[in-house]
Copies of this chain bind each other. A is one copy, B any other.
């Protein structure tokens, strides 16, 4: 059986390892495993969202409201937009997938930073599009502009702040860049970690309404998976001009999020206290990771997200470090699949973080 040739070049996405694997493989008790690998909220979901899931469990047999009326109304209010400028996805990943399928094809080019969220490339390649990357690992808008002019991509990805490196473009420079992009080029601004970025520095805050009104070719994507603590529920959204939303809606499969996810997202959005606590924990704990890096001499980029990336140097090897920690029940993210000798660690609770520092310290002393 032959398949579309576009598939030949796709490497399967390497997801963060699950807790179950450490339990299965090394017999570590589940409660002893600490997962700082997938940028989940270490405080968990909002207790109100957990209640909502438990309450709606008895409706597990019922498809969700496919119009997603209540969630859209809530998001519309939250972002001060109308609900026809919103689309809901199974994580913001799915919104990105819709964008690629709507706009790109085997004749298109898709522009992104050298090191950014791996799914952009996977989705682009799935339709046979050519991936263009800037030369710097981190986002550099001058390089983006040059590449844009040289290649005329159908789609540009800006990950603000950037996963897996943590740097974050200023809102102002982003707007300046967007002014120079033609209205037929779809710019996807991935704001998965925006809640953390804007809490750290208001210059990083992106306003989806302002973006949409200034640029009919821009879509802002957000998620409930990070600061809102619903990674396991798979809910994301896109905010854009009605015409973009209408096009993407043609590609949205019916019932693309689950009944409990819909209930949980509505409640999580309202629980601003839990959001605030989550962001504060992140702001408090991040400096401990920066201090640890300085102490050990690891390079890192100041992070505007809920993770930090340590660049390792010979003889330290990210794969070896990740494996060592994994066997001890500490799951972090090895960035070898991104071509980097680096590890990405989610900022956990104080207890989780101290455990990471202790284990990593022990490893470093042995080396």
Q: Which secondary structure characterizes the binding site on chain A?
A: loop
The 8 Å CB contact of A253, one of B3, B65, B93, is: B93
B60–A44 touching, CB < 8 Å: yes
Partner-contacting stretch, out of A4-12, A287-295, A315-323, A352-360: A4-12
- Nearest Cβ distance between residue A229 and chain B, in whole angstroms? 4
Residue A256 is within 8 A (CB to CB) of chain B in the complex: yes
The 8 Å CB contact of A61, one of B13, B40, B94, is: B40
The 8 Å CB contact of A53, one of B21, B49, B57, is: B57
Closest chain B residue to A44, Cβ basis: B61
Q: Most chain-B CB neighbours within 10 Å: which of A44, A54, A66, A260?
A: A260
A4–B101 touching, CB < 8 Å: yes
The 8 Å CB contact of A232, one of B13, B35, B62, is: B62
Chain B residues within 8 Å of A19, by CB = 62, 65
Question: How many identical subunits does the complex contain?
Answer: 2
B64–A103 touching, CB < 8 Å: no
Residue A58 is within 8 A (CB to CB) of chain B in the complex: yes
Contact of A230 with B21 at beta-carbon distance under 8 Å, contacts A247-B7, A253-B119, A254-B13 already known = no
The A55-95 residues at the B interface (CB cut-off 8 A) are: 57-67, 69-70, 90-91, 93-94
Contact of A57 with B50 at beta-carbon distance under 8 Å, contacts A1-B216, A254-B15, A255-B15 already known = yes
Residue A341 is within 8 A (CB to CB) of chain B in the complex: no
Q: What per-residue 1/0 map shows which CB atoms of A205-225 lie under 8 Å from chain B?
A: 000000000001100000001
Number of interface residues of A (CB under 8 A): 81
A233–B251 touching, CB < 8 Å: no
- Nearest Cβ distance between residue A279 and chain B, in whole angstroms? 14
Q: What per-residue 1/0 map shows which CB atoms of A257-299 lie under 8 Å from chain B?
A: 1111100100000000000000000000000000000000000
Chain B residues within 8 Å of A249, by CB = 12
Residue A18 is within 8 A (CB to CB) of chain B in the complex: yes
Chain B residues within 8 Å of A53, by CB = 53-54, 57, 60, 260
CA distance A234 to B62 in the complex (A): 10
Closest chain B residue to A69, Cβ basis: B20
A18–B64 touching, CB < 8 Å: yes
